[in-house]
Structure 1
Amino acid sequence: MLSETVFRSDDVPAADRFDHWHDLVNRTHAPLDMQSDHRKDFWAAQRLLDLGAVSVWLTAFKPMRFRRTPRLIRQSDPEGVHLSLPTKGPLRTTRSHHEIEYGPYDLCIFDTSRPAEFQAGDVPGRHAGIGLEIPKALLHLPGKSLDTLVVRKLSMREGFGALLTHFLGQLARGTDAYRPSDGPRLGMVAVDLVSALFAQALDADDALPPETRQRSLLLRIHAFIEHNLADRALTPAAIAAQHHISVRYLQLLFQQQGETVMGRIRRRRLERCRADLGDASLRVLPISAIARRGGFATPADFSRAFRSAYGVSPSEYRHAAHAGDLGAATRTGGPE
């Protein structure tokens, strides 16, 4: 599991909850002036994920106001970029007399070196969201481009925005599959996605370092493969054409990751089918239909590939999954 810091206001005496939350945010983010109409019955919860130089916030709290003032900036400035993705309740900002309201799938960008005011949430209810903090030095932003980005509302429904939303959503659902040493690598994935998103918004792809452009391209290719696993016409040639690169360059990208293009497609198809077989809501779906959903040409092809990867037939795996005895039915490992 990744390194996490968890805060729940219920663990603090009621009279101290707001002040405790205020101190926590000031220590882990940047000094802020914070006010709330709910000081007496304040509630907040937070998971802070440590990804090396990058951190991810998963927060929920009663409506409140934040201000980053010139005095507080002089007091302390981590020189970072904070990205907020509301998941419940609006987030309103005022910067240089420019007001914006953000909702779900809108990305709010905040420069810790610039004054700003925020209103998070409405009465009644709680505000919730996912935050991402990245040092400015890691983003390779040209000129004063950050000044342009902070007064824009970037959509997270498509392109790199959708990839970033999916990445943050996976972290929000849990980090049990990761080791603490994976944190810095996940942090660099976040940096690459944000860098590519900003470059796309600014039409400044050339400003990205070559290694960031390459990693961003690979992330797009992975997302394309995930979206098209059921398509039996998914081939290296089709993937290369979609991304305007040669098949040889595509294969080189995957070789650098220690796998082949078709090897990844096969592995992800099997992993998706295995998940479907273990899904109780799909229990009545025939195995042949699961094979088709996974992109296998015939049930026989699927059965052979599944047994080779997991040591049992699809039907045996499904039975064991719903009996809660997967360890006894499958061998250690998975598709290579």
Structure 2
Amino acid sequence: MSFTVLHSAVVEPEHRFEWWRDLISQDVAPTRITTDHAKDFPATAGMAQLGAVQLTTMSFPAIRSERTPALIRYSDPEDYQLTLILGTEMWISQARNEARMAAGDLVLWSTSLPFDGRGLAGSHNGISKAIILHLPRTGLPLPTAKVDHLLANAVPGRTGIAGILARHLLGVAEEASHLEGPAAAQVGIATWELATAFLGHWADARDRVPPESRDRMRLARIDAFIDANLSDPHLTPAGIAAYHHLSVRTLHWLFRDREQTVSATIRRRRLRRCCAELTAARYAAQPIHTIAARWGFTNAAAFSRIFRTEYGITPGEFRSTAGGGRL
């Protein structure tokens, strides 16, 4: 898989808008796009195929984007477009709904129904940015009527399931250029299942979400909780299970296909945080035991022993060689 972000600067200023408009119409869906910035249109577009799903990234100045009945008859990929807004505010109207979206919001729209959308001038230097996940309508295991009810409704992507999905999309977009072959397909499957779980939750159709998707969703929540609480020395499988209303047995069952147990996962992530700070200039004056304690290792001797078992050298040796490329 190749992922390349194209910039309108590759063509002459007077042709940039036409170039970007045609690129988006081919990649997303035929759309009538107009702008007051046609004389010079600084914009980008990137596309990544992840198995059955496609990811598009884009940035652009203020525009108006319309998908008309005539354009739908001409060509319709029959996709839902799940979009994460990153730049200035945007507005969309579809299926008798309308929404004004700010950076961090998620919104769903369909290529099979007319819509009117605007990228608004404002903050972020007037540049709209978005990550679009293309989801084939026929593949979603959710009632079409319930999903269509969600169109043109903004959902804040900061907490809960929406927050997990938003962070996932940001991560996929950032690493897309490094994904090849089977890895790209696997990431596509995980992205599809996470998006399905999010839409099922949002549409109150969780009973239609496949069990494996629900398990992946629970794991994503647990991973986010672990990362947010690594500094707590009392972070344990029992505490994690209690917080998520699970039995400890169920928690371990969710980790059954992973290389590491719950406890090993916590330990490895804490060690990685310690390694990062042991080699960071801003922490050069801090004692090793202070850094260790900040990430949940309250016993200095135990930390040194765990570190050496994991990496083959002591924390002091690691620090003195700045990692030495050995980990």
TM-score by length of 2: 0.92
Deviation of the 1:77 alpha carbon: 1.4
**Pairs within 5 Å for 1:68-147:** 68-122=67-121, 125-147=126-148
Aligned residue number for residue 297 of structure 2: 296
Q: Deviations over 1:105-133 (max 9, x none)?
A: 21121111111011013166221222222
Task: Confirm or deny: 8 A CA contact 2:46 2:58 kept in the other structure.
Answer: yes
Once the two structures are aligned, what percentage of the paired residues are identical?
A: 38
Aligned residue number for residue 18 of structure 1: 17
What amino acid does structure 2 have at the position aligned with 1:48? M
Q: Secondary structure at the match of 1:119?
A: strand
What amino acid does structure 1 have at the position aligned with 2:94? R
Deviation of the 1:180 alpha carbon: 4.2
What amino acid does structure 2 have at the position aligned with 1:43? P
Task: Confirm or deny: 8 A CA contact 2:233 2:295 kept in the other structure.
Answer: no
TM-score by length of 1: 0.89
Q: Distance in 2 between matches of 1:195 and 1:144?
A: 15
Q: Distance in 2 between matches of 1:233 and 1:239?
A: 10
Aligned residue number for residue 334 of structure 1: none
**Pairs within 5 Å for 1:1-336:** 3-122=2-121, 125-175=126-176, 178-321=179-322, 326-327=324-325, 330=326
After TM superposition, the structure 1 stretch with the greater mean CA deviation from structure 2, 122-131 or 2-11, is: 122-131
Q: Secondary structure at the match of 1:306?
A: helix
Unaligned runs of 5+ in 2: none
Deviation of the 1:277 alpha carbon: 2.3
Deviation of the 1:175 alpha carbon: 4.6
Q: Distance in 1 between matches of 2:266 and 2:121?
A: 45
Q: Distance in 2 between matches of 1:30 and 1:160?
A: 28
Deviation of the 1:31 alpha carbon: 0.8
Do the aligned partners of residues 111 and 221 (structure 1) sit closer, same or farther apart at CA in structure 2, a change above 3 Å counting?
same
Do the aligned partners of residues 285 and 118 (structure 1) sit closer, same or farther apart at CA in structure 2, a change above 3 Å counting?
farther
After TM superposition, the structure 1 stretch with the greater mean CA deviation from structure 2, 269-278 or 18-27, is: 269-278
Q: RMSD between aligned alpha carbons? A: 2.1
Task: Confirm or deny: 8 A CA contact 2:31 2:71 kept in the other structure.
Answer: yes
Q: Deviations over 1:36-72 (max 9, x none)?
A: 1111111111232332222222321111111111111
What amino acid does structure 1 have at the position aligned with 2:188? G
Q: Distance in 1 between matches of 2:280 and 2:48?
A: 29
Number of equivalent positions: 325
Q: Distance in 1 between matches of 2:281 and 2:130?
A: 30
What amino acid does structure 2 have at the position aligned with 1:207? R
